[in-house]
Structure 1
Amino acid sequence: MSGTASSTDAIPGRRSLRPLVGVLTAMTVSLTGTRISGIALPWFVLVTTGSATQTGLVAFFEMTPYVVVKALTGPLVDRVGPRVISWTTDLASASAAAAVPLLHGLDLLSFPLLLVLVALIGAARGPGDLAKEVMVPEAADHSRVPLERATGLSGVIERLASTAGPAVGGSLVALVGPLTGLLVNAACFAAGSAVIALMLPRGVGRSAEDASSRDGEGPGYWQRFREGWAFLRGDPLLFALIMMVGVTNLLDAAFAAVLVPVWARESGNGPTAIGLMGAVAGAAAIGGSLLATAVAHRLRRRAVFFIGFLVAGAPRFLVLAADAPMGAVLTVFAVSGFGAGFLNPIIGAVLFERVPRPLLGRVNALGDAMAWSGIPLGGLIAGAAVAMAGPVPVLLVGGVAYFLTTNLTGLRPEWREMDRSRGRAPSGGGAKADAHPGDRAAPRS
């Protein structure tokens, strides 16, 4: 992504935070809407069908297009530019999300049609999320903000959205029903589209490629795609990082899309408890992200990363399996959220240091797609497993799998590069973990 600003956007001696603020604002509203939908949509399916299997199927139909389309969009983002991709796909997401309550109100929403609509939402949301992530380093250049500070702020924004989204979503579902939450989700996507299309300065979000490549004289789509894959496959640390996050994301998806809603219904705590758990975890994660932004550069990344995963993952599964009182559940989610707050700033810094800026879109898309590849299966597998064995055995197995994944992986030698990558020149990148209690416990990583 080119860091050159237009003459109106980068005046020598002056600094404007408008580009970075604009991108982060768009991320805030769209992520908040997604988190609200993460409570409203599973609850809507669960209360209207009574089926954990169908709830998992809806999650599968949303996340499969998300992952596939996002993976294939990387070369297009590099060629066309992330700004256009972002505002157009957010507008499409808003339209599909608004259609769900509208058709339900007209008594026209069959279950197959719901699956089509959530698939459209996922297919549009993937490129939209990718485009905003790609604009972060360029916006940091325009705003003259250090790259690690910008990635830290991006992590804080995600946590803020993950705190406000579950709280608002749980309250909306409890007070006025899940369909209102879906309408709010649509409004958030529309707001994000407007911010990117109308509020960013000229020059931000243009194509990362030169004019000859955009005019068809450069490499073709599939050659661009192969270049991104070759770079990613040739970096052992990035590849190991993405593979590990892929497994934890599958477990987080199972936890958020099926296990938490089923636990909330069977325990009698209801959707308000889901929102409260997510809000507590999200608030703690904001604290972790802020602390990571301030001091993580002085710490050993590898140690902080694996300790963060240790407290962010398995304890959430185990406390619900133990049928612990709500106070204990909230305490565990707070500690987990704090640990999770350190994860994405570290992941973002490592990736931004290792990926060349012209490859940012395609490498980021492939990395995110691989890291999220298990998410569509998470809800599907969890729904079937809960139907067969009940929620407690599935929670126990999920917690053990999370613990083993995030501890055994760290023994591989390539992880030593995590502490050495600071010397690499900043550039771009970005597969993210969704191991955020605040992100998916109300239902990312």
Structure 2
Amino acid sequence: MHTRRPLFTLLGANAISMTGNVMALVAIPWFVLATTGSPAKTGLALAANVAPFVIASFFGGPLVDQLGPRRMSIISDLLSSATVAAIPLLHLTVGLRFWQLIALTFLGALFDAPGTIARGTLIPDTSKSAGWSLERASGLYAVIERGARLAGSPIAGVLVALVGPTNVLLLDAVTFLVSAALISSLAKPAVRPPAEKGTYLSDIAEAVRFIRRDPFLTAMVLSLMITNFLDMAGTVALPVVARRVYHDPIALGLLMGAMGGGSVLGALVFASRGDRHRRSAVYIWSFMLISIWYPVVATFPPLAIAIAAMFVAGLAAGPINPVIDTVMFERVPKRLRGRVLGAIGAFAWLAMPLGAVAGGWTISWVGLRLMLFGTGAIYLTSAIVLGRSRGIKQMDESVAATPAGASEAQL
């Protein structure tokens, strides 16, 4: 008998946890600016909230496999709650030095990444329990995740204005506790997973070997590194476009909001109809359509046209993560999911700061218009070349991920 309760519980827990993450991205920089008045320290605090993801993905993935995703998600949320709560509590009591704030921010992000990985690895079992296809479950997971990110920023902004950043951080700590409580309500594993004998480094090496030996995973990692690099270059360009072309910071919010709203709708469409189309076609056409916004915005059109281009790009981006998740869950054995998903996430994120630096340098070197045209051309060419690779074509092959004798539940 199918039951949707575990899947909906997972979706709710992830939505709450992701909303808390986005609230922290708003509240922590504002807290630093309000308490120090230093933009440089504000930027450093923001970097401390983002940089640990690569490290935590590599080293947190094996923990997910060893402890089980249910337990790891709970531990991660509890530790994240404690570190976030410590910031306002120390500030209100004995005082908070800046290095302590940076340390707590870094630790909070470090603890959070394994929980994000763990909740993702619960999708196959909970979708099976609900009687849903992986495409549908992964699509809805992406819808709720993107929706939480889209709504979290304005919610946090309003709350900061109403009650102040200190109280928002306390509320943020509560969201992690709620997420932990929801995940703890999921059924415990019927069989305790056998202990792994490998070390962290050997587990990570095993994940890298598994990725390297699978043509699809290798091609996917390469495509994510390239497109994330280019996406971050484009992200750097958007504030410059808003300032130099439209002369209004509101334009930046509208452009980014259009892409975010489009991505939610795109993921929702994939959740309802994704299993009717070839995955490789959806994947490649999505990347090709994303490239549209670069040349359109490079013409410096009226704001409405630029917003429409960003919305189309977001619509195209929506199905990408659900497609990736669906194929990965089919190809990666359950015992390796945490470390493989963590390694893939680390590789993908590794290219992002490089893209940001390259984007800013390229704008200074060749100018905004040429940078946008060039980035769009590279984006489109990369999508076409990757679409012809053997690995991407394997997305349409259904592969049984769980080997014989390894079918026991591990929630």
Question: After TM superposition, is the score higher than 0.5?
Answer: yes
TM-score by length of 1: 0.75
Equivalents in 1 of 2:228, 2:97: separation in Å?
29
By how many angstroms is 1:131 displaced? Answer: 0.7
Match status 1:18 vs 2:5: yes
Question: 1:48-59, aligned counterparts within 5 Å?
Answer: 49=37, 51=39, 56-59=43-46
Q: Specify the code of the residue in structure 2 equivalent to 1:70.
A: S
Q: Cα gap change, 1:137/1:186 in structure 2, threshold over 3 Å: closer, same or farther?
A: same
TM-score by length of 2: 0.81
Deviates more, 1:351-360 or 1:127-136: 351-360
8 Å Cα contact 1:82/1:134 also seen in 2: yes
Question: Within 5 Å, which residues of 2 pair with 1:307-318?
Answer: 307-312=285-290, 315=293
Q: Which residue, 189, 196, 200 being the options, matches 2:186?
A: 200
Task: Please tell me whether the aligned partners of residues 74 and 362 of structure 1 are also in contact (alpha carbons under 8 angstroms).
Answer: yes
Unaligned ranges ≥5, structure 2 = 403-411
**AA in 2 matched with 1:128:** G
Q: Which letter does structure 2 place at the counterpart of 1:287?
A: L
The question of 1:33 aligning with 2:20 is answered: yes
Q: Select 2:338's aligned residue among 351, 361, 367.
A: 361
Letter in 1 for 2:341: N
Instruction: Return the letter of the residue paired with 1:295.
Output: R
Amino acid of the structure 1 residue aligned with 2:106: A
Kept in 1: contact 2:22–2:153 (CA 8 A): yes
Matched residue, 1:340: 317
Partners of 1:363 and 1:315 lie apart in 2 by 32
Partner in structure 1 of residue 371 of structure 2: 397
Paired residues of 1:232 and 1:363 also in contact (CA < 8 A):
yes
Partner of 1:408: 382
How many Å apart are 1:246 and its aligned residue? 2.3
Q: Partner of 1:60 in structure 2?
A: 47
Deviates more, 1:68-77 or 1:36-45: 36-45
1:15-60 Cα distance to aligned partner (Å, 9 max, x none): 2112111111111111122233334445556776564x65554343
Q: Residue 427 of structure 1 aligns with which residue?
A: 401
Q: Deviations over 1:255-303 (max 9, x none)?
A: 66x7667877897755x76665555433322221122223333334334
Matching residue within 152, 161, 168 for 2:148 = 161
Q: Shift in Å at residue 385 of structure 1?
A: 5.2
1:123 lines up with 2:101 in the alignment: no
TM-superposed deviation, 1:126: 0.9
What is the Cα-based RMSD across aligned positions, in Å?
3.8
Count, aligned residues: 400
- Measure, in 2, the Cα distance between the counterparts of 1:46 and 1:250: 29
Deviations 1:99-152 (A, max 9, x none): 344455669444433322221121011111111111111222333322222212
Give yes or no for contact 2:28–2:165 (8 Å, CA) kept in 1. Answer: yes
* Number of the residue aligned with 1:238: 217
| Counterpart residue type for residue 349 of structure 1 | T
The equivalent residue for 1:142 is 129
> What's the counterpart of residue 79 of structure 1?
66
Contact kept, 8 Å, 2:50 with 2:109, in 1: the verdict is yes
Give distance in 1, aligned partners of 2:164 and 2:303.
Answer: 23
Classify the secondary structure of the residue corresponding to 2:401: coil
The answer to whether residue 81 in structure 2 is matched with residue 94 in structure 1 is yes
Deviations 1:358-413, CA, capped at 9 Å, x for gaps: 2211111111111112345556x389859x959x9579637743651453254147
For structure 1, the 5+ residue unaligned runs are 1-13, 429-445
